[in-house]
Chains A and B, each alone.
Chain A
Amino acid sequence: SQQGEEDPQALSIQEGENATMNCSYKTSINNLQWYRQNSGRGLVHLILIRSNEREKHSGRLRVTLDTSKKSSSLLITASRAADTASYFCATSMKTSYDKVIFGPGTSLSVIP
């Protein structure tokens, strides 16, 4: 019953390059969120985009949402070694607002 799926599963880039991660989901959503996790730690919220929004920015992060395709993308511009982490999308369905489901994540490695 997994709601969100990210791709790629793993991504390795050079410092300074942009990183793009994608998330697809199956049912109508209230909103979609992106989180970051450093190894062995809790998740940190990055950005939330509501179902009636198409794009949001926060610093070096840009998130898009295409509800017709049931997909979202997270772009990290000018990546840094400190961006190395796992990134997850999370959704709550219109039929169950409080149930927040995470995808399997994308593991990003930024090489200095």
Chain B
Amino acid sequence: DGGITQSPKYLFRKEGQNVTLSCEQNLNHDAMYWYRQDPGQGLRLIYYSQIVNDFQKGDIAEGYSVSREKKESFPLTVTSAQKNPTAFYLCASRFDRSSGNTIYFGEGSWLTVV
């Protein structure tokens, strides 16, 4: 089945640790995105990537890092510099500009700092 797979679904992190959230898509989409969602809130853009080996900061990039070595993969690392990382993280992708800006989401990853 085609889609976007995020893993793990639930992750617990100790303070001071880095963790990496995985996002894989087999839709052959060009652009990929990471958003953060706090309870009862909207989505805030962390990073996005339009092509392989290139990515741009979103509105809340501090304390996060990404890589885009392959078209289908866009992992997000939550570093120890992120002071309040407990949140729901959503990965998304988009085919190309000719299809408009419709983006497709994974099912999300819950990160809790313990």
Contact = CB atoms under 8 A, between A and B. Distances in A.
Interface stretch (A14-22, A58-66, A74-82, A97-105): A97-105
A97 B97 contact: yes
B101 A100 contact: yes
B81 to A, nearest CB: 21
Contacts of B50: 98
B2 interface: no
A1 B59 contact: yes
Interface in B25-59: 31, 33, 35, 40-45, 48, 50, 56, 58-59
B103 interface: yes
Contact of A102 (B40, B43, B48, B107): B43
Nearest to B107: A42
Contacts of B40: 107
B95 interface: no
Nearest to B106: A42
A105 B103 CA distance: 17
B105 A44 contact: yes
B90 A42 contact: yes
B101 A41 contact: no
Contact of B41 (A41, A44, A98, A104): A104
Secondary structure at chain A's binding surface: helix, strand, loop or mixed?
A: strand
A30 B58 CA distance: 18
Contacts of B97: 97-98
Nearest to B35: A102
Interface string A27-45: 0001101000000111111
Given A2-B42, A42-B90, A104-B41, 7 more contacts: A1-B59, A42-B4, A97-B97, A97-B101, A99-B48, A102-B45, A105-B41
Contacts of A105: 41-42
Contacts of B31: 98
B108 A40 contact: yes
A88 interface: yes
